[in-house]
Amino acid sequence: MGYVLIMLSFDVTMPTALFVVTLVAILLDRRIEGKLKTTFQERKFRMRDAILFVAMISVAVSVIMFVPQMAIIVVFLFSYSTLLFTFSYIFSGIRKRRAQLFCLGFGLAALVAGSVALLHPFADSWMFYGGLATYGLAAFAFFATLYEQMRKSSGERWYLAVLPPALFLLSYLFFKGTLLWFPYFFNIFAITFAILITLFLGSLFTWKITFIFAGLLTVMDIILVFGTGTMGTAATTLLDLGLPIAVVLPRIPIQGAISFGGLGLGDFFFAGILATQTHKKFGDKTAAISALVMAISLGLFHVIQLYSKIEFFPATVSVICGWLPVVAWKLVAERKTKSNIVIQN
C-alpha cells in the first residue's frame, strides 16, 4: 500500500498579527473611548456617512495609479503625520512622570536610529545628514524631558505631540530603502497606524452602522480586487514607494525559501472596528472570541488563496466570515436567555 504525503501550505504569522493587533485595539478602546467621545462631541456616523466613507475609499484606491508618485508620497506622509500629531496631542495631558518617560523613549529611539545611520553599510552623504537630523530629534526629546521637570502648568503639550510624526518623517525620508526601514520601522509604523485609525474612528460607529459599513466595504473590496483589479495595483504602487500601508511579515512555517505575506491597514482597521463594536455590544469575552475567530478565518482563507494561486484576495471576506458566526451565535444565545426569563415569569 502506498502513501502520498501532502504538504499543506499555511501561514500562522499574519493571523497571529491580526489577532494581537485587534486585541490591543479592544483593550485600548475601553480605556480611551471617553476621551475620544469628548473630542468628537459625541458625534456618530449616519447611514449616508458610512456610504460616503466607503465611496471615498473606493475612489481613492481607483485613482492612485493616475496620480504622480511625489503627490502620493506627500499626501500619505501628511495624512500619517497629522494622525500621529492629533492623537498624540489629544492624550498629551498626561502626568509629568509619564510625559518624561514618553520623551525619554523617543529620545533613545532617535539616538539609536541616528547611530545606526552612521554605521557601515548605511554610511553615505544622505544617511550622514539623516543621522544628524535624527540626533537633533533625540536632543529635542532629551531637552523636553528636562523641561518637563520644571514645567508647572497642566494640559496638552505640543512638544510631546510633535515627537511621533517627526520620528516617522525622518525615518521615511532618510532610511527608506535600508534594512532599518524595512522590515523594522515599516511594520512598527504600519501596526501603529492600524491601531490609531481604529481607535480614532471607532467612537463614530454605532452597532447598526457597523453592519452597514461592513457589508458595503466587503462588496467594494470584492469589486476592486476581482472586478477592476485596482486594489492590487494600488497596493503594489504604494508598497514600491515604501509607504507603510500594510503589515508585511515572513510566512511561518518556512517552506523552502523565506517568503513574505502582507495584509493592508484597511483590513486591520476593518477587523478592529468589528471587534471594538462587538466589545461595546456584548463585552470583553465575545469581542476576544470574535478577534480569534476572525484571525482563524484569515488563516483558512489564506490556505485557499495559496492553493488557488490567487495573487490578491479581498481579506474583508475572510474577516467578515469570521465575525458574523460569532455575532449570530451571541444574538441567538441572548434571544434564548430572554425567552427563558419570560417563560419563568
Asked if the structure places residue 235 within a domain, the reply is yes
Tell me the sheet residues that pair with 246: 264
Q: How confident is the model at residue 6 (pLDDT cuts 50, 70, 90)?
A: very low
Cell numbers placing 233? 495595483
**Does the pLDDT at position 319 exceed 80?**
yes
Which range (3-12, 227-236, 259-268) has the least confidence? Answer: 3-12
Asked if the structure places residue 31 within a domain, the reply is yes
Asked if the structure places residue 218 within a domain, the reply is yes
Asked if the structure places residue 344 within a domain, the reply is no
Asked if the structure places residue 104 within a domain, the reply is no
- Amino acid 3: pLDDT: 36
- Amino acid 58: pLDDT: 93
Residue pLDDT, tens place only, 10-68 = 789 999 999 999 999 999 988 887 777 666 666 788 899 999 999 999 999 999 988 99
Which range (38-47, 166-175, 230-239, 279-288) has the least confidence? Answer: 38-47
Average pLDDT for 101-125 = 81
Which range (53-57, 213-217, 249-253) has the least confidence? Answer: 249-253
Asked if the structure places residue 250 within a domain, the reply is yes
Domain of 65, in residue numbers: 13-91+193-334
CA distances from 40 to 34, 37, 55, 75, 90 (A): 10, 5, 22, 24, 11
Asked if the structure places residue 146 within a domain, the reply is no
Q: What is the pTM of this model?
A: 0.91
Q: Which residues contact residue 267 at a Cβ distance below 8 angstroms, ignoring those fewer than 6 apart?
A: 18, 315, 316, 319
CA distance 255 to 307: 14
- Number of domains composing the chain: 1
Q: What is the dihedral of CA 174, 179, 185, 187, to 10 degrees?
A: 140
- Amino acid 113: pLDDT: 85
| Contacts by 15-19, CB closer than 8 A, 24 or more apart | 15/295, 15/296, 15/298, 15/299, 15/302, 16/295, 17/191, 17/247, 17/249, 17/263, 18/263, 18/267, 18/268, 18/271, 18/291, 18/294, 18/295, 18/298, 19/291, 19/292, 19/294, 19/295
Asked if the structure places residue 162 within a domain, the reply is no
**Does the pLDDT at position 4 exceed 50?**
no
**Does the pLDDT at position 162 exceed 80?**
yes
The single-letter code of the amino acid at 109 is A
Q: Which residue has the cell 483558512?
A: 300
CA distance 34 to 39: 9
How far, rounded to the nearest angstrom, does the alpha carbon of residue 10 sit from its chain's CA centroid?
Answer: 23
Beta strand spans in the chain (E): 246-250, 260-264
